[in-house]
């Protein structure tokens, strides 16, 4: 198994994004990345069950259970 290195640009972006993650509703998060689909899944519960979703113009899908945000789906994640 090889080790992949993030480009410096990607690391800088992740560090800047950290401030926004801190503002999200939960302190524990689960991340899954589908390389083939280039989709990042971010969950605020171990096994979230959403009742509805909203897609934003920027390709981010917000998943809710009633009024509680339980996860995000980020399309074309490697392009951000």
Domain positions in the chain: 27-79
Mean pLDDT of the chain: 80
How much is the average pLDDT of 18-47?
Answer: 81
**Using one digit for the tens of pLDDT, what is the confidence trace for 55-75?**
999 899 999 999 888 999 999
Q: Is pLDDT larger for residue 17 or for residue 51?
A: 51
User: Does the predicted TM-score (pTM) go above 0.85?
Assistant: no
Task: Give the tokens for residue 13.
Answer: 């972006």
DSSP bridge partners of 42 = 31, 72
Closest listed residue to residue 60, CA positions, set 34, 42, 37, 45? 42
* Sign of the Cα pseudo-torsion (80, 74, 29, 20, in order): positive
């Amino acid at each position: 198994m090889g080790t992949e290195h993030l480009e410096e640009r990607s690391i800088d972006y992740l560090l800047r994004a950290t401030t926004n993650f801190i503002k999200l509703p939960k302190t524990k998060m689960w991340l899954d990345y589908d390389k083939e689909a280039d989709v990042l899944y971010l969950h605020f519960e171990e096994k979230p069950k959403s009742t509805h979703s909203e897609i934003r113009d920027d390709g981010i899908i917000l998943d809710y259970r009633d009024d509680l945000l339980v996860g995000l789906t980020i399309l074309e994640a490697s392009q951000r």
